[in-house]
Amino acid sequence: MTDDASVRRSESRENDEADLALCDVARLFKAVLRRAIARDRDVAARHDLALTDIGCLGFLESCHEPVSGKMVAEHVALSTGATTALLDRLERAGLIERQPNPADRRAIVIVLNEAKARPILEEQRVLKQGLAAAVGSLSQDERDGVLKFLQRLLDEVPE
């Protein structure tokens, strides 16, 4: 009987520790999300843009291939109609251009006007630099663990 009670106490302690770890991870994860979103909102507000506009500009900057409207829509999680409105706003502001697709003359590609977008994107670099510094401080095993964790989280949480 004593062994049974000891096992239950040990399991209870392990469950409590797991619950505390989950709370710590959830708290930090949400804090990172809040800070990143708040930073993006501040940048967007300073430049009279919407939050999705900022996301689109960052996506265009990071792409090393021609970007279609469909790719933008998928990245910012908007309908095709809402994406068209987003691209119209960015084009009117001179931040992007729609150009003929060299691989398919029936289609267009979205091209970032880097000179005009640079001030906005520079403000975004603070978060990217923080992320790079944090990742750079990890060992390869730790980076692999973070990637594995984030992928599992995405796999477990439905869209």
Other CB atoms within 10 A of residue 40 CB: 20
Cα dihedral 76, 51, 84, 107 sign: negative
* The pLDDT value given to residue 72: 96
Measured between alpha carbons, how far is 55 from 41 in angstroms, rounded to an integer? Answer: 10
Measured between alpha carbons, how far is 92 from 126 in angstroms, rounded to an integer? Answer: 27
In sequence order, the 6+-apart residues with CB closer than 8 A to the CB of 80 are: 69, 70, 73
Mean pLDDT by 10 residues, the chain (159 residues): 60 67 90 92 94 94 91 94 96 96 89 95 88 94 95 89
* The pLDDT value given to residue 65: 87
pTM of the complete model = 0.74
- Report which of 41, 65, 36 is spatially closest to residue 52, judged by C-alpha positions: 41
Query: Residues 72-110, buried b or exposed e (16+ Cβ, 10 A)?
Result: bbebbebeeeebeebbebbeebebbeeeeeeeeeeebbb
CATH of 2-156, one of 1.10.3720.10, 3.40.50.720, 1.10.10.10, 3.40.47.10: 1.10.10.10
* The pLDDT value given to residue 2: 57
Domain ranges of the chain: 2-156
What is the rounded (10 degree) CA torsion for 64, 68, 74, 80? 160
